[in-house]
């Protein structure tokens, strides 16, 4: 769910997921691994990147 939300946000802004990962200092493929688990400390950074709340990412 989190991955799909991040993917949709990136798509609406026409930003590749890898670009966001690089910008946030995350390893390649980080968002895809979040289908199983998402580290809370990283969610805050992603929410700030998109200017949305963490709750919005969680759906």
Q: What's the CATH code of the domain at 24?
A: 1.10.260
pLDDT of residue 38: 64
pLDDT of residue 37: 76
pTM of the predicted model, to two decimals?
0.79
By residue range, what is the domain housing residue 34? 2-58
Q: How many domains does the chain have?
A: 1
pLDDT of residue 16: 97
In angstroms, the CA 51 to CA 13 distance is 12
Provide long-range contacts, Cβ within 8 A and 24+ apart, for 8-12: 9/50, 9/52
Average pLDDT over residues 30-48: 84
In angstroms, the CA 39 to CA 29 distance is 14
In angstroms, the CA 30 to CA 2 distance is 12
Q: How many CA atoms lie within 13 A of 58 on its CB side?
A: 10
Per-residue pLDDT reduced to its tens digit, 4-38: 999 999 999 999 999 999 999 999 999 988 877 76
In angstroms, the CA 53 to CA 36 distance is 20
């Amino acid at each position: 769910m989190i991955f799909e939300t991040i993917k949709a946000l990136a798509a609406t802004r026409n930003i590749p997921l890898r670009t966001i990962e690089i910008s946030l200092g995350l390893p390649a493929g980080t968002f895809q691994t979040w289908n199983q688990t998402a580290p809370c400390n990283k969610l805050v950074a992603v929410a700030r990147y998109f200017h949305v709340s963490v709750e919005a990412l969680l759906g």
